Structure formats: C-alpha cells, structure tokens
Amino acid sequence: MLIGLTDPLVEGEPVEIELGFESGESQRLEAPVQRIVVEEQGQHGHAHAHDHKHDHAH
C-alpha cells in the first residue's frame, strides 16, 4: 500500500518508495509503476497474471 500520494500514479513512470523498518531505519528505492492484472481463480487454485508463465507439470 502506498500512503501519502500527492499525484496520481502513471504507468511506466518511476515512483520513489520509502520503506520503514521496526528498527527505526528506513530505505528509499525507486520502481516503475506497473498495472497489475488479476484474473479469477482457475482450476489450479490460484490467480494468474498475463505477463508471466507457470510450469504446471506436477
């Protein structure tokens, strides 16, 4: 969850994220905004996104 956003997120643009830890330390990082695609659960019992592949051979 991102808290304190002042502008809308734009897909593909970088966003700066600050992580706060219980120790009181923090770390800043930058990551591109990406759309998350969620599908309904299928017969395998978990959701799939469109941009990756799974090996379902068990």
Per-residue confidence (pLDDT) for residue 57, from 0 to 100: 59
Q: Is residue 47 pLDDT above 70, yes or no?
A: no
* pLDDT tens by residue, 17-39: 999 999 999 999 999 999 988 88
How does residue 5 score in pLDDT terms, banded at 50, 70 and 90?
confident
20 φ, ψ to 5°?
-110, 130
Q: How does 14-37 read in b/e, with b if 16+ C-beta sit within 10 Å?
A: eeeeeeeeeeeeeeeeeeeeeeee
User: In the numeric block, which tokens belong to residue 11?
Assistant: 């897909």
- Average confidence (pLDDT) over 9-19: 92
